[in-house]
Amino acid sequence: MNFNTEFKPFTVQPQKIEGRSFEMIDEEIGRHQFTEEQYPVVQRVIHASADFELGRSLVFHPHAIQAGIQAVRSGKRVVADVQMVQVGISKPRLEKFGGEVSVYISDPDVMEEAKRLDTTRAIISMRKAIKEADGGIFAIGNAPTALLELIRLVKAGEAKPGLIIGLPVGFVSAAESKEELAKLDIPFITNVGRKGGSTVTVAALNAISILAEKV
């Protein structure tokens, strides 16, 4: 086998690389069940993960995309469960409409309360977040306990998110938390199974904010 042939990239221009990536996704995904407004989210999730199985496993509430667009355009707060999600979100698109991203999991009062109650910081962070983010977007990509607590608060009538993007990854409670989310009658984006994570949660949120920019 000859390893002396130098590999040359298709292009080094970011926009062309992204464009070609989306073309390849369109070619490979084939027939799918997603609507025209849902598909850009699926595209970006696959683009972020290179995982077609993950993309095909996405589940959308019928009003998820429009609810997300409306929340962004109204300048509603985005709540991330962890800093990894917060860092990846495109802030300028949200700020254009007066929005911002908040994450509470490392706040001193959250840490203190979690220790006092012997529970996870993710749970306590959701209890704090709902007080400041009524009608906002909750982007959960890491902590199933955060998603389960948010679902509990919704059922109790204590939380009214505009949209929940619930895509936590993991083996303990990740798939189960997403199954519970899919039962709610409020706008959500989730997926079936253990796969997910901060990167794909960011991709889904950024897809929504891109759609919000379009007239």
Mean pLDDT of 39-61: 96
Residue-wise pLDDT for 190-199, tens only, equals 999 999 999 9
Residue-wise pLDDT for 4-25, tens only, equals 566 566 565 777 888 889 899 9
Residue-wise pLDDT for 147-171, tens only, equals 999 999 999 999 999 999 999 999 9
pLDDT of the residue at 7: 56
Helix (H) or strand (E) holding 163: strand 163-166
Q: Kindly report the pTM of this predicted structure.
A: 0.91
The sign one gets for the Cα dihedral 105, 161, 133, 44 is: positive
Nearest to 148 by CA among 115, 131, 170, 117: 170
Q: Which residues of 144-168 are buried (b: 16+ CB within 10 A; e: fewer)?
A: bbbbbbbbebbeeeebebbbbbbbb
With 60 as the cut, is the pLDDT of residue 2 above it?
A: no
Q: Which of 32, 47, 61, 63 is catalytic?
A: 47
Residue 102's contacts (CB-CB under 8 Å, 6 or more residues apart) are 77, 78, 79, 80, 86, 129, 132, 133
Q: Is 32 a catalytic residue?
A: no
Mean pLDDT of 125-135: 94
- Domains of the chain, earliest start first: 15-21+32-104+132-213 (3.40.50.10230)
Q: Residue 188 pairs with which residues in a beta bridge?
A: 164
Tokens of 124: 């306590």
pLDDT of the residue at 18: 81
With 80 as the cut, is the pLDDT of residue 95 above it?
A: yes
